[in-house]
Amino acid sequence: MMISKSVQGIVAVLAIVIIVVGGMLLGVVPALERTSEARVGLSAAQAQNAESATTLDLLQAQRADVETLLDAQTKIRLSVPNLPGVGVFVTELGRSAATQGVGVQSVTVGTPTAATIAPASSTSDGAPGDAPVADGELFSVAIDISISGPYEGVIEVIGALQTGTRLTSLTGFTLSIDGANVSAQLSVLVYVLA
């Protein structure tokens, strides 16, 4: 009977060892492998997130650049629109003149003509540059304007023509002074994109 109790004890210990080893092999080891895989996946996700954050920062910086370019484009489109908009130009001229106490006697609008564009003098590598706008895309409209009023007001109106929103070239002017009143004949060009 002693042997059978010893055998029972050995069998019981072997059964416990088999259960523990089997539990390790069937339960704990796969769980540890899944945990290890999850850690590797987490590291990969963190690396991808860091890369995405860098890309996002770059895109946000580029967006700021794009917004700056769009603002510049808007200003250019206002200064050289794709429609003549002479009515708007004359209205703005009238407002500017009225604020200076100057009257607009007449406005004569010419026919749009293709503007001649000189090519850029050279590029950074010394090669001849291209014109900023292709031939036939930029037109000029000649406008003759007659204004009269106080000297300072007339000068302010002439300055406003040159520094206003619309790209305007003052190509000629004559002044006639009669006491405190000054009359001016102005020749200007406004530009239009085709």
**What whole-number distance in Å separates Cα of residue 65 and Cα of residue 125?**
26
Alpha-carbon distances, residue 14 vs 4, 21, 90, 134 (angstroms): 15, 10, 106, 93
Q: Which two tokens stand for residue 91?
A: 């209205």
**What whole-number distance in Å separates Cα of residue 107 and Cα of residue 93?**
10
Give first-to-last CA distance, the chain, whole Å: 114
Alpha-carbon distances, residue 50 vs 24, 102, 141 (angstroms): 37, 64, 56
pLDDT at 132: 57
Q: For residue 150, what is the enclosing H or E element?
A: strand 138-150
142-169 pLDDT, tens digit per residue, is 999 999 999 999 999 999 988 888 888 8
Instruction: Give the pTM.
Output: 0.58
Please state the rounded mean pLDDT for residues 109-120.
Answer: 78
The answer to whether the CB of 151 falls within 8 A of the CB of 101 is: no
74-94 pLDDT, tens digit per residue, is 777 777 776 667 888 888 889
Phi, psi torsion values for 187, nearest 5 degrees: -115, 120
Taking domain 86-120+132-193, whether its CATH number is 3.40.50.150 is answered by: no
- Report the number of secondary-structure helices (H) and strands (E) in the chain: 4, 5
